[in-house]
Chains A and B, each alone.
Chain A
Amino acid sequence: MIVFRYKSEKSRYQKEILRPIADVWLKRGNTWVEFHPYIDSGADVTLIPLSLGELLGFKIGGEKIEEIGGIRGGVPVIYKNWQIKLGEKVLPILIAWALVEEVPPLLGRTDVFDFFRITFLQKERKIIFEEIR
């Protein structure tokens, strides 16, 4: 079982807003890079901004550039199959690498949510990932 936590952030509209944050590692060569994306059950896919992809070694090659939508309009992305680590669990997942910087890093549903039973306990400021065996 992996337990993630909420982070209290300041919002223009409210004094405080709680946002669920994950602690994950992305493969970078022979090592891993730790980062803290938002856990977004409303996101179809895990999304990372341009410069994080470049740090991981992503390059714009022959892959098709596609557009994914949000309420602010479309974002050009390239889909990559990549390894992510949550706790001790290493998963091959699909990542949408945004070709712009102005997107939030999101841990989305595709591949990730299939492996866990996920419970958001906002009042307790916890998000519980239980591995499905």
Chain B
Amino acid sequence: MTPLKIKVRIKMMKKTKLSNYEYFLKTDTSSYKGKWIAIAEDRVAAIKERADDAFRAAKKKFPKGDISLAKVPQETTLILKIKT
């Protein structure tokens, strides 16, 4: 294998895609508080008020991609928090 081919192969290996779950865990979603986000292809594919709208918007962008949904909570939404 030539050095060029080795370089290309290493570059391809480094660009391994994350699963939607891994991407969600790693991504700072604090700017989407109160919204639904749809994740596909290593990106936030749609941000909407409703889950169905987010899913359909992402499906339109990535018809063949795997799409996942998450709701980013408002700070006041989560029930159990540390008292201050």
Q: Does A14 contact B (CB under 8 A)?
A: yes
A71 to B78, CA, bound (A): 10
Q: For the complex, is A60 an interface residue (Cβ under 8 Å from B)? A: no
Q: For window 4-61 of chain B, which residues contact chain A by CB distance below 8 Å?
A: 19-21, 24-25, 28-30, 36, 49-53, 55
* Docked complex Cα distance between A10 and B78 (Å): 13
- Tell me if A34 and B71 are in contact (CB < 8 A): no
Residues 13-30 of chain A: 1 if any B CB is under 8 Å from the residue's CB, otherwise 0?
110000101010000000
**Contacts A42-B79, A42-B80: A49 and B71 contacting too (C-beta < 8 A)?**
yes
- Docked-complex contact A55 and B82, CB < 8 angstroms: no
Q: Are B55 and A33 in contact (CB under 8 A)?
A: yes
A-B contact count, CB below 8 Å?
83
Q: Which residues of A contact B29 (CB under 8 A)?
A: 9
Q: Compute how far the CA of A56 lies from the CA of B67 in the bound complex, rounded to whole angstroms.
A: 14
Complex Cα gap A6–B25 (Å): 7
A36-B24 contact in complex given A13-B81, A103-B77, C-beta closer than 8 Å:
yes
CB distance from B6 to the nearest CB of A (A): 33
A131 within 8 A of B: no
- Nearest to B24 among chain A residues (CB) is A36
For residue A109, CB closer than 8 A to chain B, the reply is no
Contact with B along A40-56 (1 / 0, CB 8 A): 00100000011110110
A71, B25: Cα distance in complex, Å:
27
8 Å CB interface, A66-84 against B? 70-72
CA distance A101 to B67 in the complex (A): 20
User: Is there contact, CB below 8 Å, between B21 and A11?
Assistant: no
Residues on B facing A (Cβ under 8 Å): 19-21, 24-25, 28-30, 36, 49-53, 55, 66-71, 73-82, 84
